[in-house]
Structure 1
Amino acid sequence: MITSAKNEKIKALRKLHKKKGRTETGSFLVEGSHLVEEARKSDWTILEIIAQDSVDLPKWCEELPLTFVTEQVFQQISQTKSPQGIAAVVEMKEATVDLENHLLLLDGIQDPGNLGTMIRTADAAGFGGIILGSGTVDLYNDKVVRATQGSLFHIPIKNGHLEAEIEQLKENEYTVWATSLQNAQNYGDSNKDNKVALIVGNEGAGVQQVLQEKADKIVKIPIYGEAESLNVSIAAGILMYYIKG
């Protein structure tokens, strides 16, 4: 039982709140019974369970390294307003995307909620994977992890240089779609291709021009009201379900 937030293990766990600490250890924190259970059901490796002393744990937790802490100490580890008293340290994993299925490419997505939502939606839509381009928020940011609702553990996600990735995908017979509000056709007027790599871009700037130039199609979602544009995660969801349908 750890009773002090000054304990070295607790200090090490708190370092996982920052990208630097996650990168140095190759691990990240997931918090809450649902996310911990989703990690367990996947092929990701749980390194350790951290639990508040008063919490009832599933039986399987006893099979893993298990550390108990007081409620006050758990609050030092937690990054949520109402902690559930269970967290896990999970080993990072670089995935291999499914090159026989549609893919989502993300160019400079900065909002953690948007990234997490798109991961969850791509999982729900049955996409074969996600490639994160430079400038995209860290996959293991706690807000991203929570917003995925566990889909992080169920769809392959990797980091990549999107210009090079697009070239390789074209060699693998992908049709590349990029989103833009300018010089674009309505997505509903586009034929559904066998294998689509869909690029969506930064919340403010959109998809980089250099990536648009590499795309086979530039598509947009028509706006019928007064809004200037759609939230990027909403737009990605509409397009992924159209492509998959």
Structure 2
Amino acid sequence: MKHIESVNNPKVKQWKKLLTKKERDNSGTFLIEGFHLVEEAIKQGEQILEIIASEKVGLPPRWDTKGTAVTLVTEEISNLLSETEAPQGIYAVCSQGKPEVRDAKTYLLIDTVQDPGNLGTMIRTADAAGIDAIVVGRGSVDLFNSKVLRSAQGSHFHLPIIRGDLHEWIDKLQEEHIPVYGTALEGASLYTEVSCGDSFALIVGNEGNGVGKDILSSTNANLYIPIYGKSESLNVAVATGILLYYLKK
């Protein structure tokens, strides 16, 4: 077990850089914070590269850290790495990996969602609903943004999440006879009128503009959720939950 005391240590500087998208992309790694996320990474095993713990924090005895490097740091260094108001003093460096989609029947496709809390909640919801894979299209917030990671609550480690071209994925899914449903306010069918089998893909879109029109024109059908009150629309993460659970039932 290593011990680092200087904030000028090269490793500390590298960890700090992982708070930026540029360095996450360059290194193919990301930093997670908090006991729950680190434990989920340990359970998954393959992606976790290194655990970083404040010298004032003990690792839970139930954690199996065999084969994983553990570094103790001062509280000053620990606080330097935190992006939360109440740091727990525990972090891990993880590999982004190259997720593969195998034998998937149900998909969530995400088009230009900007809010990290929304993206994380959608990932967590898809995980809870038993969706097999997620495809995040260009223009969405970074998958490994710290707010996305906290909102997803470890679901990044539970199912494959692919960054890809949604048009290509729609073509691929339809070739495999998997129906693709978009979400729209106009020219769409009430979601409860759709009869869905074991396989489907749902596309949800940007908080302000929804799913792109070019994408909607390629779907098998587009769905809407009725609004009974005075609100103009539903939050995209809430709408995603309603639709995924309906289609999955």
**Corresponding residue to 2:74 among 49, 70, 87:** 70
Aligned pairs for 1:128-207 (under 5 A) are: 128-207=132-211
- SS, match of residue 94 in structure 1: coil
The AA in structure 1 aligned to 2:69 is P
Instruction: Tell me how far apart the structure 1 counterparts of residues 91 and 71 of structure 2 sit (CA, whole Å).
Output: 10
Q: Give the superposed CA RMSD.
A: 1.2
**Corresponding residue to 2:99 among 95, 112, 115:** 95
Deviation at 1:192, TM superposition (A): 1.5
Contact 1:175 1:193 in 2 (8 A): no
Q: If the length of structure 1 is used for normalisation, what is the TM-score?
A: 0.97
Deviation at 1:95, TM superposition (A): 1.4
- SS, match of residue 243 in structure 1: helix
Instruction: Tell me how far apart the structure 2 counterparts of residues 220 and 89 of structure 1 sit (CA, whole Å).
Output: 40
Q: Who is 2:14 aligned against?
A: 12
Cα distance change on mapping 1:87 and 1:175 into 2, 3 Å: same
Instruction: Tell me how far apart the structure 1 counterparts of residues 174 and 6 of structure 2 sit (CA, whole Å).
Output: 55
- SS, match of residue 99 in structure 2: coil
Residue-by-residue CA offset, 1:145-191 (whole Å, 9 max, x unaligned): 11111111001110110011100100111111000011111101111
Residue-by-residue CA offset, 1:9-38 (whole Å, 9 max, x unaligned): 111101000011111111100111111010
The AA in structure 2 aligned to 1:194 is D
- SS, match of residue 214 in structure 1: coil
Contact 1:97 1:130 in 2 (8 A): no
Cα distance change on mapping 1:227 and 1:31 into 2, 3 Å: same
Deviation at 1:208, TM superposition (A): 0.5
Deviation at 1:132, TM superposition (A): 0.5
Cα distance change on mapping 1:125 and 1:98 into 2, 3 Å: farther
The AA in structure 2 aligned to 1:7 is N
Q: If the length of structure 2 is used for normalisation, what is the TM-score?
A: 0.95
Contact 1:96 1:156 in 2 (8 A): yes
Deviation at 1:98, TM superposition (A): 4.3
Cα distance change on mapping 1:14 and 1:173 into 2, 3 Å: same
Stretches of structure 2 lacking an aligned partner (at least 5 in a row): none
Stretches of structure 1 lacking an aligned partner (at least 5 in a row): none
Residue-by-residue CA offset, 1:116-135 (whole Å, 9 max, x unaligned): 00110000000111000000
1:58 aligns with 2:81: no
The AA in structure 1 aligned to 2:138 is S
Divergent runs of 4+, >4 A? none
Contact 2:198 2:248 in 1 (8 A): no
Cα distance change on mapping 1:43 and 1:4 into 2, 3 Å: closer
Deviation at 1:232, TM superposition (A): 0.2
Cα distance change on mapping 1:173 and 1:66 into 2, 3 Å: same
Q: Who is 2:32 aligned against?
A: 30
Contact 1:179 1:207 in 2 (8 A): yes
